[in-house]
Amino acid sequence: MSCSPFDVRDYYFKELAENERRLTEVHVKTCAHCREELDRMRGTEIALLALPDEEIPQRIGFVSDPVFEPSAFRRGWEALWSSAARLGFASAAMLSVALLVFSLTRPAPQASAPSPAITRAALETEVSKRVNDAVSMAVAQSESRQARDTQALLAASDRRHALETQEMKVRFEEYIEVERKRQNATMLASNDAGSPTGDVR
Amino acid sequence: MIFRAVEDTDLIRKACRGDVEAYNLLISRWERRVYNYLLRIVANREDALDLSQDVFLKAYQNLRKLDDPARFAPWLYRIAHNEAYSLFRKRRPEGETEELQPETLEGAATLGGNAVFPVELTLAVSSALHKLTADQRETVVLKIYQGFKFEEIAEIVSAPVSTVKSRLYTALELLKAELAPVKARGVS
């Protein structure tokens, strides 16, 4: 069980952060137990380092042989796929080229092909025109019907007026005849009263 | 101070463009370290050399997949780790967990014909290392002999940092116990 604020073995291998290292260093100066631990670590390491590195029995080297060398295309291809950055750049470049080719080869927009805004405006105009025509036709038909009715009423009135005039004329003639007869009768009566013997002639 | 006129990253970029000489220079900087890493894992010089050649061949074939040339070392050791464990699987019969028997590395006690460390200690260390599990031994090799940080070791062996630390500290406790009698005899 370590009494150090941090593992003295990490401290020994210089694996602590700077502030941790300083705190442990202060502790180790005053802690005999941790100093012994460090001494044991040092002793073990020194013993292990008694096993020296050996020289390699045979040097390793490669010769340049074009037969075994990957082609420039293959090297580039492998380099492209082995790097996300290169692959991303290549994708962006391909997209740019595709956009450029599309913009250059795209057919010109046709004049007869109206834009959605134009189609909407024309449609509204057509609807308005048709509504106005329908209203005009309805008004014309109504006026025509009213004119015919008026004409018929006038004709009927004229006929009734003619009949009434004819009837009044007949009645007036009858009245005149009755009056003439009555005056004749009165005249005859007065004549009879002015001559006592009778004949006035 | 080690002065390198050309950085590894420059050599890697040249090698990616097909410059074999640049790659050979890169190999010359790393072959000894990779060979010794493999030697301490597989405990056989011939296997370690064959694996080293395979590692550098595979690294060359896949060098263009290395996104960050600054991460070359962990990436190279990752390939070496895979090659070593592939050999373990080939050599190990189905279901058997016992590890490869190490060859005697008496030669490790000398370097250029001159004695560098006492033979007894060198043999004791070699023997103690091979009493560890393969995972523990590899972690010790990567930390003590190759000097990688915990995060890099975790990347190489595909394990969490906490697992790497646990393997290392357990292994060091075992090694300390194994080597204590030798050190007690005053050989250190």
Task: Tell me whether residues B144 and A48 touch, CB distance under 8 A.
Answer: yes
Tell me: the pLDDT tens digits for B9-46? 999 999 998 899 999 999 999 999 999 999 999 989 99
Task: Tell me whether residues A62 and B60 touch, CB distance under 8 A.
Answer: yes
The token pair at B2 is: 């080690």
Chain A residues contacting B via beta carbons under 8 Å? 9-10, 13, 15, 40-41, 43-64, 69-70, 75, 78-79, 82-83
Q: Which of A97-111, A127-141, A157-171, B119-133 has the lowest mean pLDDT?
A: A97-111
- Residues 6 or more apart whose CB falls under 8 angstroms from that of A109 comprise none
Label residue B118 by pLDDT band (50, 70, 90): confident
Task: Tell me whether residues B116 and A52 touch, CB distance under 8 A.
Answer: yes
Q: Which residues of A touch B16 (CB under 8 A)?
A: 79
CA-nearest residue to A61 within chain B is B24
Q: Please report the pLDDT score of residue A83 as a whole number.
A: 67
Percent of chain B exceeding pLDDT 90 equals 64
Label residue B151 by pLDDT band (50, 70, 90): very high
The shortest C-alpha distance from B89 to chain A (Å) reads: 24
Say if CB B78 and CB B151 are below 8 A apart: no
Classified as helix, coil or strand, B173 is helix
Say if CB B151 and CB B161 are below 8 A apart: yes
Q: Which residue in B33, B46, B125 has the most chain A C-beta atoms within 10 A of its own C-beta, making it the best mutation to test that interface?
A: B125
Q: How far is CA A73 from the centre of its chain?
A: 49
Option in A48, A52, A82 nearest B111 (CB) = A52
pTM to 2 decimal places:
0.60
The token pair at A160 is: 């009734």
Say if CB B135 and CB B79 are below 8 A apart: no
Q: Which residues of B touch A49 (CB under 8 A)?
A: 144-145
